[in-house]
Structure 1
Amino acid sequence: MKNRKFAAVVAMIALFGISCKDAKTTGVSSEMVKEIAKEVAKEVAMTEAPIKSIMTAEEQENMSPDEIIGRMKKGNENFAANNLTRRDHSEQRRIAMIGQYPSALVLSCVDSRVPVEDVFDLGIGDVFVARVAGNIENADIIGSMEFASAVAGSKVIIVMGHSSCGAVHHAVDATDAGSMGMASLQNLLDEIRPAVIAENGEEVSSKNKAFVDKVIMTNVKKTVEDIRAKSPTMKGLEDAGKLKIVGAVYDMESGKVNFINGAK
């Protein structure tokens, strides 16, 4: 998109440069330059036209899990390059009242610095998003995933961790939330602790970035395996090639998503 806009701007600059020259020398009149400039302006306007449509049932049905992942990778490239697609949210909101056909569900951390739809350059009706600190699975999350895949037709489940995850930091440091009256938070941190234990052998501290990064990755992989183990329905869909459950880690500094678990 930006390449087309850049080319259009270059063309306009060149044309206006010509208009400043003697018409007899260039053979191009100022009137001709103005007309061509209008056409270039139209091209720029078309490039800038916001998307009004949303994901349809037919599009959802015809895309394979790998195609969906490929589209999300391309969307992430747009995000990392600060080249997000323009969307007419008012029109998309109106169309979405008829129904929804998201292609995927993303399980993300609650971290406010991880804007899931933006990270994949997606809009209204494109994707289900589930959030919980530390991007772990529980019964409600599994149920939401089963609804998204077995009922609503989504073909990809992405468990997306992220760099500098606060929940992982506290799990690494063995924060005793229970003693502070936060039993539910303690239960959540306990769900992440197996990933910490699995990476033991180094300096176990949230100040050890390399170690924390390993735990973040291991926690994502563990969650992916837990989803398969806890949901025969989703495992069956995956075994049949109708669903793909993959992991990913979002780097907050670069804006890039690194897919794991064999995602193409």
Structure 2
Amino acid sequence: MSNINGSAASTSWAVLREGNARFIAGMTSADLRRGPHRRAELIGSQAPSAIVFGCADSRVPAEILFDQGLGDLFVVRTAGHVVDGSVLGSIEYAVEVLGVPLIVVLGHDSCGAVAASIAMVDEGKVPPGSIREIVEHIAPDVVRARIAGAETLAETIEQHASYTAELLRERSVLIDRAITAGRVSVVPTFYSLASGEVGEAHPVRRLLAV
């Protein structure tokens, strides 16, 4: 867990990993934290243990993948986990106001947004409407991943998750300050649609000659 510092963040990540293991095994227990009693507990306040910034893909619902209940996660989702002002403001609120100690960037295999960005970089295929904005946000990460040595879609997605984690810190003084102070950790992750496992992203390390 090299990306995670501090006992609160480590504990939060351990809880998520345990929940993901239950999800993989088909032994989920989060229904106990989604009923009337849990709803009543949350009427006046919330205290989520982790922020999950993930892709909007319908196959990647964070609460289900981590087997969490109501109020357990502060979830922000955009296609390809693209960062904009609303995303930063939402995450900053969770960090500064709610005191959440862990930010998980949730990438996943077969990500259509990253695949479309690769198609634009490689073949000049520009998608219509505002989809183009999403692809244009991701395209620099595709190029950067290629320079780092990424060759496959999966490798590029893992690189993109890692770059997104870096970008949150670069774009937000509040997040950077919280990380520097040890109040929050950011961990990029990769979800396998086939296995159901969420693990830390492992970006490639081989640099290509440019």
TM-score, structure 1 normalization:
0.68
- Over residues 171-209 of structure 1, what are the superposed CA-to-partner deviations in whole Å (9 max), with x where a residue is unaligned? 1111312xx3x0x221110111112212337xx9xxxxx
Offset of residue 94 of structure 1? 1.9
Q: Which runs of 5+ in 1 are unaligned?
A: 1-62, 205-209
Offset of residue 215 of structure 1? 1.0
Partner Cα distance (1:68, 1:109) in 2: 20
Superposed, 1:74-85 pairs within 5 Å as 74-85=18-29
SS at match of 2:146: coil
Partner Cα distance (2:146, 2:12) in 1: 36
User: Equivalent residue for 2:200?
Assistant: 259
Structure 1 segments, 4+ long, off by >4 Å, are none
Is the contact made by 2:76 and 2:87 (CA closer than 8 Å) also made in structure 1? yes
Offset of residue 152 of structure 1? 1.0
Taking every aligned residue pair, what percent have the same amino acid on both sides? 31
* 1:198 partnered with 2:144: yes
* Matching residue within 176, 188, 191 for 1:247: 188
| Letter of the structure 2 residue corresponding to residue 171 of structure 1 | S
- Over residues 89-110 of structure 1, what are the superposed CA-to-partner deviations in whole Å (9 max), with x where a residue is unaligned? 2221122112101111101111
- Over residues 18-73 of structure 1, what are the superposed CA-to-partner deviations in whole Å (9 max), with x where a residue is unaligned? xxxxxxxxxxxxxxxxxxxxxxxxxxxxxxxxxxxxxxxxxxxxx61111111111
Count residues with an aligned counterpart. Answer: 190
Q: Which runs of 5+ in 2 are unaligned?
A: 1-6, 203-210
Superposed, 1:67-106 pairs within 5 Å as 67-85=11-29, 86-87=31-32, 88-106=34-52
Offset of residue 115 of structure 1? 1.7
User: Equivalent residue for 1:66?
Assistant: 10
Superposed, 1:38-77 pairs within 5 Å as 64-77=8-21
SS at match of 2:188: strand
User: Equivalent residue for 2:154?
Assistant: 213
Higher relative contact order (CA 8 A, sep 6+): 2
Partner Cα distance (1:198, 1:65) in 2: 29
